[in-house]
Structure 1
Amino acid sequence: MNKKLLSSAFLLVLIGIVSIVPISLFANNNLDRLLSREAAAEDIELYFSIIDQQHGNPYQYISRKEFRQLVDETIARLPESIPYKEFDVLLTQLNNKIRCGHTVVSLDTDFLKSATNLAQFFPYPVRIIEGRYFIDFEDGDLPLGSELISINEQAIAGMTEQLSALTVTDGFSSTKPIREIESRFGYYFFLKYGAASSFMVTYKTPNGSIHQAEIAAIEGNRMLANNYYRPVYKQHERYYHFTHLDAIDSLQTLVLTLNTFQANPDWFYEKLASRYNEETKEFDFENLVIDLRLNEGGDRRILNFLYEFIGGGQLNDPSKTVVRNQDIALADYLVGINGSNSSAEVIAKADAYLKQHFTNATEKGFEGEVQNWHNTFDLGIHWKGTAFKGQIYVLTSGKTFSAAADLARILSDMPNVTLVGEETGGGHKARTANMLLNYSLPNTGVNLQVPVIYEEFLNVSNQSTGRGTFPDHLVTQTYEDLLAKKDTAFEFTLQLIGQRSSFGTN
């Protein structure tokens, strides 16, 4: 698959999960288009009603009283008229307070598509190291490793705190907001500070000298190809393929890179089966590296097959599940459910599903009777060989989210598994996800993705509430490694494997 096709593929993913381009930019390119105070207040009130009635557990990290107060304060601060861009910022910041990574404020798909044709975005990927922003790109006007000091007179110092308020994450993960800003820096900069046809950049080169340069803005699709979802500018193809398999024969190591779970499960079976000898019931490698650092989730059913291959037997990951409402609330504003349209038939099926599986009324809503939901996630593809019993190394980062974070959490308890990298962006103990409803706010066209099912995992280690899964070895890239184009966590893992091999532990 070539890089051009990759860019188109993950732009479609962006349309479904990211919400950072203001509607006003694409309405005759009029950044000054105004929304009346009454219309803005009406959409904010509707936003609260949807969250309050339909979200699986909106008050996990903030009380209803506190959130209602924030809503009231946001409405009270509204001017008589407000640009659409400022409204989007207000609603995004309010949405951040729920601390749910699956609750996403976004704008109409047509407007997001229009963004890809506009040359108004900062062009280069950045790497954030100890709060400082460095250019992580070799083919631009600024040298690799240059430290950004200011962009259009906007100081970089303190920018992480401002931009983090526009991100979404499960709980209080310290890594996900940073990786979110990195991977979508051009859009987040636009959302907070505005569009520009060019950017005056003050920067410090790796040798310490300070310079200024005016760099041209680029279209959204080119910017995204450089830094969203998979870094296609990286040289090794495992970084920019959806999935990739390669071997390091000298270390008897297989590297399975999973940059998404939005993939055909047949690929997993065929690739892994090709490394297995059915006669001897042995694999042709001793160590397995599973790279989940860029994986923001997808088809949760793939976990079943991967677990059969790695752990043997069926996956048992029981959870306590709750919904707040057995009916789809405020359906007049609904535009989609789990990627499908919101036809009467689709809504009826969703209602029936909730009534079938969530029957026990409680103070918080309705509890589900099923605990191991993976029993219902059967792709019809099962590993029939012997489970892999060698050493397994799982690479994680703040972008390891949703189903990918689930896999990291589940594998972390296995004795032959070592986690390397950063805290995951997905919650270790609980999260709200699964059935996803998409609403459209009538006055602004803003879309709101709301997860319906709150899930509290039962087989979890004792980690802090509201945090992700922590690695056994905390490894992040240093500035020196950035300059050397070194994949710090990956090379650290290979060193671990080499040390075990030298002592004959495999």
Structure 2
Amino acid sequence: MKKDLEVFKEIRLQANSGLYKYRTEAQIDSIYQWAEDEIENSSTYLDFYNIISQLTDFEGSLHNDTGLPDKYWESLRAENFGYFPYPIKWIEGHWRINFEGGELPLGAEVIEINGEPMAEIVKNLHKYYTTDGFNLTAKRIGLRTHFSRYYRWHYGQKEEFDVTFKAIGSNTLENKMLESISYSDYYNKFRARHSFPYDQVDYMDLKEDQKYGFKQVNDSTGVLTLRSFSIGNETTDKHKRYAAFLDSIFSKIKNDKLQNLIVDVRLNNGGDDPNDLLAYSYLTQRNFQENTEAWIRFRKIPLIRYYDIWIPRFIRPFVVGGYNKQFQEIFPLEKDGAYYQDDTSEDHHVWQPQENAFTGNTYLLISPVVASAGSLFAAMLAGNENTITIGEETSGGYYGHNGHTTLTYALPKSKLTTSFSIVNLKQDVPVKSNQIHGRGIIPDYKVSQSFEDFINNEDTQMRFTLELIREN
């Protein structure tokens, strides 16, 4: 554990440009001291995984990840007990049972599990789902999907769970002893969750025609849905069809003289350049670029003996040499020990508004799912003066993030993998008083699904937006 911790820290210091993006050097030193102390009290493989996961999450990048080796993953998936039996979902400030027909009633508020308050449990599980900066809303996405797995990772396998809960409409605390279930049985129950009709699209492998679309609500309002930017780059047929779609739709919007446009990106967790920028060019009146600053920490990929790449070690330097040449061309400017893009970079290409760019009232719908290129697009759009932003804080940051190229290393003893995006980006967005450094995009109207709409599987945010348009 000590050897791997030393390697992990050295990798971050030499390769990760986001190490001090949200944390001071003193804070980073402090958590590594915590990790060294924690190792003295640790004895199992998962103990060490939990320590590395805490360090990974602390940095504050949604592209950070700590991975388990395949053989260990297989052993976990084969476990036949030890897992909490029901999915849960965050609704109006409470964690509620998201399963109908079980021993706990649908919608019951979970207060404690095995004597520990849910607030403490959830705090302990945050480390398994990384987000940008200090964002917490998106961690609920991971918990609503993988709560049982996360609980097992942190607390170990449990034969049973003593659950304290409140039923719907009751202030009475009740207790129920639940037997644990297997890994696979939990995910079977998750697939049968109550909210499936409402949120199934969140988990779908979207087809091309499901990734974007448009519908007109009435004579004055339309809805542009952008669920993903994974549509290929400008050389692909998929991108060309997407570009033609945008051109056609915004011509129609202009010809029909629509006054209001709802842009729904609530499921958009990123994708390919330049699909985000192309969409924004139809929604702005200003010249813009992908970012105003981008840099990496190294001239050559460091510590290549730990670089997780499937080629023999003795020829690894030759392959990595090709990558290094590309990095040196993309990031030629050295300043204070970092390497920056120059004005010739494609990322600094200045885009202009499209001829048919929308000039009316824009209503942007966001959620904690929004990340990476999705949050870059949403941040730019939220920065427009004619945009009202509705929903919940995004996972991706407003002012910047670490993105683009990902490096993956394998720790030598444990074989845990650690992945992170190496390009520190400053986004081309205006400073706004309601947008906070280190946070996701903050909506103008904070709206989440209501309890009643959770029970009925209805869309609180879209209804709120349509009502707001009518009022305006």
Q: Provide the TM-score with structure 1 as the length reference.
A: 0.77
Aligned to 1:170: 132
> Does the 8 Å CA contact 2:269/2:369 hold for their aligned counterparts?
yes
| Higher deviation after alignment, 263-272 or 53-62 | 263-272
> Does the 8 Å CA contact 2:60/2:132 hold for their aligned counterparts?
yes
Matches within 5 A, 1:33-432: 40-79=1-40, 82-109=43-70, 111-112=72-73, 115=76, 118-120=79-81, 121-129=83-91, 131-138=93-100, 140-196=102-158, 199-208=161-170, 210-212=174-176, 214=178, 217-220=181-184, 223=187, 226=190, 233-235=196-198, 239=202, 241=204, 242=206, 243=211, 245=213, 247=215, 249-250=217-218, 253-263=221-231, 265-266=238-239, 268-269=242-243, 272=246, 275=249, 282=255, 287-311=260-284, 316-336=289-309, 346-370=319-343, 373-374=346-347, 386-432=356-402
Aligned to 1:472: 444
Aligned to 1:485: 457
| Higher deviation after alignment, 394-403 or 257-266 | 257-266
Q: How many residues end up aligned between the 2 structures?
A: 452
> Does the 8 Å CA contact 1:318/1:373 hold for their aligned counterparts?
no
Alignment partners' CA distance in 2, 1:218 and 1:383: 54
Q: Which amino acid aligns with 2:283?
A: I
> Does the 8 Å CA contact 1:322/1:455 hold for their aligned counterparts?
yes
> Does the 8 Å CA contact 1:201/1:215 hold for their aligned counterparts?
no
> Does the 8 Å CA contact 2:162/2:175 hold for their aligned counterparts?
no
> Does the 8 Å CA contact 2:369/2:394 hold for their aligned counterparts?
yes
Instruction: Give the secondary-structure state (helix, strand or coil) at the position aligned to 2:197.
Output: coil
Alignment partners' CA distance in 2, 1:152 and 1:246: 48
| Higher deviation after alignment, 218-227 or 318-327 | 218-227
Aligned to 2:405: 435
> Structure 1 pair 189/225, CA: closer, same or farther in 2 (3 Å)?
same
Alignment partners' CA distance in 1, 2:195 and 2:73: 21
Alignment partners' CA distance in 2, 1:487 and 1:215: 34
The alpha-carbon deviation at position 270 of structure 1 amounts to 6.1
The alpha-carbon deviation at position 291 of structure 1 amounts to 2.5
> Does the 8 Å CA contact 2:366/2:443 hold for their aligned counterparts?
yes
Q: Which amino acid aligns with 1:303?
A: D
> Structure 1 pair 221/43, CA: closer, same or farther in 2 (3 Å)?
farther
Aligned to 1:16: none
The alpha-carbon deviation at position 148 of structure 1 amounts to 1.1
The alpha-carbon deviation at position 99 of structure 1 amounts to 1.8
Instruction: Give the secondary-structure state (helix, strand or coil) at the position aligned to 1:58.
Output: coil
| Higher deviation after alignment, 414-423 or 438-447 | 414-423
> Does the 8 Å CA contact 1:276/1:283 hold for their aligned counterparts?
no
Aligned to 1:10: none
Q: Which amino acid aligns with 1:160?
A: V
Aligned to 2:235: none
Alignment partners' CA distance in 1, 2:354 and 2:107: 48
> Does the 8 Å CA contact 1:283/1:388 hold for their aligned counterparts?
no
> Structure 1 pair 250/66, CA: closer, same or farther in 2 (3 Å)?
closer
Deviations 1:93-142 (A, max 9, x none): 12222122222212124544665555554353322246531123346443
Deviations 1:342-396 (A, max 9, x none): 9656523321121112222222412221487446799xxx998733444332211
> Does the 8 Å CA contact 2:99/2:189 hold for their aligned counterparts?
no
The alpha-carbon deviation at position 247 of structure 1 amounts to 3.3
Check if 1:454 corresponds to 2:415.
no
> Structure 1 pair 429/244, CA: closer, same or farther in 2 (3 Å)?
closer
Alignment partners' CA distance in 1, 2:441 and 2:139: 15
Gaps of 5+ in 1: 1-39, 501-506
Deviations 1:313-364 (A, max 9, x none): 9752332112110111111111249xxxx96565233211211122222224
Check if 1:497 corresponds to 2:460.
no
> Structure 1 pair 135/245, CA: closer, same or farther in 2 (3 Å)?
farther
> Does the 8 Å CA contact 1:426/1:469 hold for their aligned counterparts?
yes
The alpha-carbon deviation at position 426 of structure 1 amounts to 1.3
> Structure 1 pair 386/90, CA: closer, same or farther in 2 (3 Å)?
same
The alpha-carbon deviation at position 484 of structure 1 amounts to 4.1
Q: Which amino acid aligns with 1:350?
A: Y
Alignment partners' CA distance in 1, 2:449 and 2:77: 30
Alignment partners' CA distance in 2, 1:344 and 1:188: 38
> Does the 8 Å CA contact 1:261/1:299 hold for their aligned counterparts?
yes
Alignment partners' CA distance in 1, 2:23 and 2:282: 40
> Does the 8 Å CA contact 2:67/2:417 hold for their aligned counterparts?
yes
Alignment partners' CA distance in 2, 1:221 and 1:254: 42
| Higher deviation after alignment, 299-308 or 264-273 | 264-273
Instruction: Give the secondary-structure state (helix, strand or coil) at the position aligned to 1:82.
Output: coil
Deviations 1:44-91 (A, max 9, x none): 110000000000131122233442343234224423862001111111
